[in-house]
Chains A and B, each alone.
Chain A
Amino acid sequence: MPTYTAYFKGEWIPSDEMKIDRQDRGFRTADVVFDAMRTYNGGLFKLGHHIDRLYRSLQYARIDSGLTREEMSAIVEETVERNRGRLKEDGDFQLYMFVTRGKGMWANIAGPATVGVEAYQVPFHRYAPFIDNGAHGAVAKTRSYSHQSVDPKIKHQARMNFNLAELEAKDIDPDAFPVLLDMEGNLTEGTINSMFVVTNGVIRTPTDDNILQSVSRSVVMDLAERLGIPLVEEQLQPYDLYTADEAFLSFTGPGVLPMTVVDRQDIADGKPGPITTQLLAAWGEMVGVDIADQAKRFARY
């Protein structure tokens, strides 16, 4: 099986050879923004949305990638093409693109940017085991960054708080996905996902003040509208999650993943809810892939 080929600093190299210099600010001070998307049947999903979000992150962090959106999109597309030979084996790709500020003692005189784009198998193994019975969650002690420190809308890699949240969640439940609160104790998001609950037939999700501008979250909103399911954005607290009729996560891999246990307590009857199931089916129909079936077939542990 051929190894994956990645774009790195203007060249095409094996993914395993992508190494960041010790002086690169992307390592030294996590001065790096990124984005990630996936393919369905080998075709990129919402490429334009992900590129737009990457450029918003760059704009906020004041990093100049040295590439236009069109050039960046073309590199992502070429990454898919160059690795197409692995599709049969791997099912579909996740694409990861990052831009660091490059080398420099100070942020304002650093550069040029280090740009990388790679493909790898969608991490099916991270969620396939939870599709039928639901994922577990745990509310972490560690909080989401205040937007006075770094705005959570930007997708960056300076996430020591996420690392701690992941460890804290596993202290509570080895399978748990962490759920982070903001400084006031409102639900925000996970380390790789947006959060939704369903109460009395209404889908509820935290407002976008203190969370990533998630592409999957916006797809859920579109699908809910198409299916005629009411959806509201509002401030939610752990209480709302504990007492919900259903809950689900949303992220690039599965689109929608049911959550049935939080802080070791069942949510409602502890089974994936009907609205979650309906959304997942609609998503699969939209992209022409049986998402659950694919994940189970291709997951490598």
Chain B
Amino acid sequence: MAKNEPVAYLTGEWVPLSELKVHVHDRGFYIGDTVFDLARTFNGKSFKMKEHIDRLFRSMKAVRIDPGLSPEEMVGISEECVRRNEHLRKDAGDWHVWQAVTRGVAGWRELPTKATVIIQCVPIPFKIYASQFRTGAHTVIARTRSYSADTIDPKVKHYSRMNFNMADLEARDVDPQGWPLLLDQNGNLTEGTAYNVFIVSNGVIRTPGDNALLQGISRGAVAEIAERLNIPIVQEELQPYDLYTADEAFITNTPMCALPVTRADNRTIGDGKPGPITQQLLAAWSEWVGMDIVDQAERYAKR
């Protein structure tokens, strides 16, 4: 094992990250039978870990996977993973703390008896987005639609995401920088392939209601911060028109917190620069976690 290699938890054992693999006969691979969650650290301290683990257990409840661990144990192992890799954090900046639970190894379409549990710390991929805090990100509305709750409820955080894969490809066809956004079966905005979407119109933050999308932890954090800053925020059905004609827009997820969006389907949003409310949210978020989120991303993206 390389000296500078993180360790990860794999169903009861600690293994080098490079040995973290799943069997081809694991339902998590052969039939997408996996739920997951993803927290992050700020300065090496996990953020809202309990909320992430609670959501993971809601996902497992919905799809009926038993991890053989309690939520407290799962939090404990996640925190242990952070501790065990602390000596490597200087190079990583901060970690994704990533939990995945599959239904386990079983013969063709049989039900296994023991879940596969993965908990890993991996470096946050700052390079993917760091420069876009200043330039703004581009979004593209994909042709492929979000799953209907009749098939697999989008509130569940799972790996069975062929539609997200298609949406990634379609977005890049339109704009090489495009972050895909998906519509539901009725044409309403839902979410991206790993992020929630917000727009700002006339000083009001607007975001799709949570009946057809992931219960984003960062999305919840935006609501908390907005309340603290006295910025009105509403949940409502939104269509592409609302995004195109917004004053500002941003996307949120665990690593990025809030990333400004300045382009949607090759239309400039507002004046084409990151908007003031987005910047205000990001500044408040940095203050909350005790570090400059943008500065860290920019510094580590260069490494």
Which A residues lie at the B interface, using CB under 8 A? Answer: 8, 15-16, 18-22, 25-32, 34, 61-62, 94, 98, 101, 105-108, 116, 118, 120, 123, 126, 142-146, 148-150, 154, 156-164, 166-167, 183, 191-192
Contact = CB atoms under 8 A, between A and B. Distances in A.
A22 B22 contact: yes
Contacts of A163: 27, 31-33, 63, 103
Contacts of B161: 29-31, 158
Contacts of B103: 163
B109 A166 contact: yes
A164 B34 CA distance: 12
Contact of B108 (A101, A106, A126): A126
A260 to B, nearest CB: 20
Nearest to B164: A29
B29 interface: yes
Contacts of A21: 20-21
Interface string B22-37: 1111011111111000
B289 interface: no
Nearest to A30: B32
5 contacts: A8-B24, A18-B25, A21-B21, A30-B34, A106-B172
A118 B30 CA distance: 13
B69 interface: no
B11 interface: no
B31 A162 contact: yes
A101 B161 CA distance: 13
Contacts of B148: 143, 146, 149, 183
A31 B162 contact: yes
Given A101-B165, A160-B33, A164-B152, 18 more contacts: A20-B29, A27-B22, A27-B28, A29-B161, A31-B162, A62-B169, A107-B169, A108-B172, A126-B109, A143-B148, A145-B151, A146-B185, A149-B145, A150-B144, A157-B31, A161-B151, A164-B63, A192-B109
A145 B162 CA distance: 11
Contacts of B21: 19-22
A109 B162 CA distance: 16
A211 to B, nearest CB: 14
Contact of A144 (B110, B151, B172): B151
B64 interface: yes
Nearest to A145: B151
A91 to B, nearest CB: 15
A18 B24 contact: yes
A123 B165 CA distance: 31
Contacts of A16: 23
B118 interface: yes
A142 B128 contact: no
A108 B160 contact: no
B150 interface: yes
A133 to B, nearest CB: 21
B246 interface: no
Nearest to B35: A160
B244 to A, nearest CB: 21
Interface string B15-57: 0010011111101111111100000000000000000000000
B152 A160 contact: yes
Contacts of B25: 18
B166 interface: yes
Across the A-B interface, give the 7 residue pairs with the lowest CB-CB distance, nearest first.
Answer: A30-B32, A160-B160, A19-B21, A158-B162, A107-B168, A158-B160, A18-B24
Interface in B96-120: 103, 107-111, 118, 120
Most buried by A among B108, B128, B185: B108
A142 B118 contact: no
B281 interface: no
